[in-house]
Structure 1
Amino acid sequence: MTDATAVPRRSSSASSPWQRFWERGGWWRAILVAAVYIALYIGASQLIGAVFRGQYDVTNPFGDPASVAITLLLPVVFGSVILLAFAASVRWLPELFGRQPGRGRGWMWIAPVIVVIAALLRVGATDWSAYSVSVILLTFLTGLFVGLSEELLTRGLAVNLLRKGGYSERWVMVLSSLIFALLHSTNLISGQPVGTVLFTMGFTFFFGVAMYLTLRATGSLVWPILLHAITDPTTFLATGGVDSGSGTGSPLLTFAGLSVYLYVIIAIVAVFLVKGHLDRTADDSALLR
């Protein structure tokens, strides 16, 4: 999956063995980061659940503010802090949150546009009277940290590690999206049916491609974070659940669901159109399409 024509990577200025280890990049380091993160995240979730046992409704996380905070918000806040600390330890925060290398092509803007339209349709389909103001606000705050943690991990750290490993952008897109999908296999631990988990993994892979294209189109990790941050809470509130809600039956929600098929089509197109390699020291005009 590596390519001898890869753009030469910048020489490492890492000052410690820890930094030099991660500067080498590679697919297995990306998976290692994801595996350690998810293990810590699950452990933190279990610990938080044990500490606050009896103070939340596990069957209805959106029933009251405490349930949202304990079951959803606190674990992703912890995950976000862990990932930011790791990025700081290897001195990658400037390159992760700074301008991304390469200029995305115009067709890539289709991905973020679909994400925004789908979110707006879910807003229109939501029965807002079913939730308290506190639950709504906490759910959107949770979405912000979900976007930060999952995008920082997959479109930030994983993409950076894959690029440092010399992979072409086609493989960077596919492998980072695959890592994103595999993260959601852990929903099995919470007791979700296998079919639901497999569907979620399929959706997250194709949504991951859309987020990669958003990263390329906008040139900033901030925008995938923000678009992800509106996707999850609008989905939770419109369907009344996490990956398993039934929704209000609104036609708008049906139309929003069509975005899944659009993500699949975009991903197939992207596999053929995304080419080349990216490097921060390379001239943008010489980079991929």
Structure 2
Amino acid sequence: MSSPVLRVRPRVWIGFAIWIAYVLVVFGVQVASGIPYDEWGDSGSNLFLGGGLSLIVATILLAITTSVLGWWRPALFEDTRSHHRWPVFVPILLALTAILTLAVTDWASYDGAFFAASLVLLLVGFTEEMTSRGLMIVALRSRLSEVWVWFLSSAAFGLMHFMNFFLGQDLVPTLIQVGSAFAIGTVFYILRRTTGTLIWAMVLHAVWDFSVFAVGHGNPGPLANALGVLQMTIGILAIAVVWFTFRSTRTADADATV
């Protein structure tokens, strides 16, 4: 597959500039709402104004930015997939965990407004993936090896969550969230590399975040306490096997002809 002609040539600094702009926009809209992070779950209006509105704004701005750059195809699709496809079992485990999480959620605690606001949060799959594993990856690949592409994109994704500290979350839970996001971001990176598209990572990311937020509302089932252990285990597995995704199909084909 030939690489598409891009309107703007990818540069590493462009990826980081987009990341910084995304964080500032989301943080700015969330701060302007006046609703602390730990009060988002109190009502549907709190959830929409505190979290959902920022995602709507970010979605529009990211779509415009990607169109101006002409980076839609490389952001959403791999030119060459991972030579090893078997690491996809890690994202599959995360998907099964998300389903289990939704199964133990206290759905009776949801009213119509809160559920509708929760659905808006699904946009996080597009916004955070397009920023950290879409446009960021396109930019990083302009100069860096795939190892650094994985590490820096996952680190950027993790650090993105540090804004929750400035929104009222305690420091220790925030640091744990940043580390967890790095590991789970590695899962999404593996899914992009093994399937050849960011779209599945966007879907899984949206469902995963929705399930994690949903289970924290009301009175979750007795299995909910084990979900944190499952998440940690899956994150460790992802970091352990991500190395096998760095080699591409094109590299493998070239090696076979030598």
TM-score scaled by structure 2?
0.87
Shift of the 57–30 alpha-carbon distance from structure 1 to 2, 3 Å rule, reads closer
Q: Which residue of 2 aligns with 1:212?
A: 189
Q: Which residue of 2 aligns with 1:4?
A: none
User: Which is helix-richer, 1 or 2?
Assistant: 2
Q: Is the 8 A contact 1:170 1:276 kept in 2?
A: no
Q: Which residue of 1 aligns with 2:91?
A: 112
Shift of the 113–276 alpha-carbon distance from structure 1 to 2, 3 Å rule, reads closer
Matched, 1:275 2:254: no
Matches of 1:46 and 1:57, distance apart in 2: 8
One-letter code aligned to 1:31: F
Shift of the 14–137 alpha-carbon distance from structure 1 to 2, 3 Å rule, reads closer
Matched, 1:138 2:110: no
Q: Is the 8 A contact 2:125 2:204 kept in 1?
A: yes
Q: Which residue of 2 aligns with 1:193?
A: 170
1:63-112 deviation digits (Å, cap 9, x = unpaired): 33222211111101111111111111111123323x32222322221122
1:207-227 deviation digits (Å, cap 9, x = unpaired): 010000011122111111110
Q: Which residue of 2 aligns with 1:6?
A: none
Matched, 1:156 2:134: yes
Matches of 1:250 and 1:239, distance apart in 2: 10
Q: Is the 8 A contact 2:98 2:207 kept in 1?
A: yes
Q: Which residue of 2 aligns with 1:285?
A: 253
Alignment of 1:255-270 (within 5 A): 255-257=226-228, 258-270=230-242
3-state SS, counterpart of residue 100 of structure 1: coil
Q: Is the 8 A contact 1:162 1:172 kept in 2?
A: yes
Matched, 1:173 2:142: no
Shift of the 41–249 alpha-carbon distance from structure 1 to 2, 3 Å rule, reads closer
Alignment of 1:82-93 (within 5 A): 82-93=61-72
Structure 1 residue 195 displacement after superposition: 0.3
- Greater mean deviation of Cα atoms: 262-271 or 208-217: 262-271
One-letter code aligned to 1:151: E
Matches of 1:217 and 1:126, distance apart in 2: 30
Matches of 1:93 and 1:117, distance apart in 2: 29
Matches of 1:274 and 1:93, distance apart in 2: 22
Structure 1 residue 248 displacement after superposition: 3.7
Matched, 1:32 2:17: yes
Structure 1 residue 29 displacement after superposition: 3.4
One-letter code aligned to 1:152: M
Shift of the 65–197 alpha-carbon distance from structure 1 to 2, 3 Å rule, reads same
Q: Which residue of 1 aligns with 2:78?
A: 100
Shift of the 59–198 alpha-carbon distance from structure 1 to 2, 3 Å rule, reads closer
Matches of 2:17 and 2:37, distance apart in 1: 30
How many residues align structurally? Answer: 252
Structure 1 residue 268 displacement after superposition: 2.4
Instruction: Report % sequence identity.
Output: 24
3-state SS, counterpart of residue 164 of structure 1: coil
Matches of 2:38 and 2:186, distance apart in 1: 32
3-state SS, counterpart of residue 62 of structure 1: helix
Instruction: Choose which of 46, 67, 72 in structure 1 pairs with 2:31.
Output: 46
Shift of the 62–249 alpha-carbon distance from structure 1 to 2, 3 Å rule, reads closer
3-state SS, counterpart of residue 39 of structure 2: coil
Structure 1 gap ranges (5+): 1-8, 51-55, 241-246
Structure 2 gap ranges (5+): none
